[in-house]
Amino acid sequence: MLLDVEQIHSYYSKSHILHGVSMNLAEEDLVCLLGRNGVGKTTTLKSIMGIVQAQAGKIVFKGKDLVGKAPYQIAHMGVGYVPEDRRIFPSLTVHENLLIGIKHDKGPNSPSQGWTIENIYESFPQLENRKENKGAHLSGGEQQMLTVARTLMGNPELLLVDEPTEGLAPLIAKSVLKMLSTIRESGVTLLLVEQNFKAAVKMADRFYIMSKGQIVFDGDGQALQAAEDIRKNYLEV
């Protein structure tokens, strides 16, 4: 397995958010983490990335435990994180935002080191067309695309993506999800938090569903479609 999360417990101050969360991802998986708002999905991604430190359990990436490491250390080990609020640099151009994402110490053995400015533009021509535009002048969909592309410039082997279609028009959201499928096809493993169940079920290999800081379902799309009670209790509004 590329990533093994084993019984992690995470807190915000004294609030116990994650209660023994476990999951795993094999290389080139696209795994989707589903659940209602406030159940711990974002905290799970932040715990893997070291933004929130797990207080118990293990997070093993390529055989090395990430617990206790700083986010920048985890990033340099090959994990990329795309936050829900995007966090592009609004006063910099698209091109400058992309250059900031380069990690100059990535070694020659990185399996996904094909991500360069040139093939980012080749894969996402919309960004090339806007490369001299400042981040503040991009649409929501373009900002989301830029955030993902900037993270790819560090050549991650695992990409954590939080709510990539949140607030986007349906057509733009479809374009962003197609982009993520393209990234997966390039050899990058993805763990995706996504509220759009209908879209997610078409693209992901496996699903985890969370409720109240715990995993309540683990299975493929066929199993999830068959689990009517699980969907009704933990996904439907």
Assess whether pLDDT exceeds 90 at residue 103: no
Assess whether pLDDT exceeds 50 at residue 227: yes
Assess whether pLDDT exceeds 70 at residue 108: no
Q: What is the pLDDT of residue 156?
A: 95
Please indicate whether residue 28 or residue 167 has the higher confidence score (pLDDT).
28
Q: pLDDT, tens digit, for every residue of 50-96?
A: 999 999 999 999 999 999 999 999 999 999 999 988 889 999 999 99
Question: Tell me, what amino acid is at 45?
Answer: L
Q: Which letter, b or e, does each residue of 103-122 get, where b requires 16 or more Cβ atoms within 10 Å of its Cβ?
A: eeebeeeeebeebebeebbe
Distance CA 74, CA 45 (A): 12
Burial class (CB in 10 A: 0-12, 13-18, 19+), 42: buried
Domains and their CATH numbers in the chain = 3-234 (3.40.50.300)
Q: What is the pLDDT of residue 237?
A: 58
Q: State the number of CA atoms in the 13 A half-sphere of 136 facing the CB.
A: 3
Q: What is the pLDDT of residue 104?
A: 66
Its pTM stands at 0.92
Assess whether pLDDT exceeds 60 at residue 109: no
What's the sign of the alpha-carbon dihedral 61, 77, 120, 81? positive
The closest alpha carbon to 35, from 190, 221, 227, 216, belongs to 216
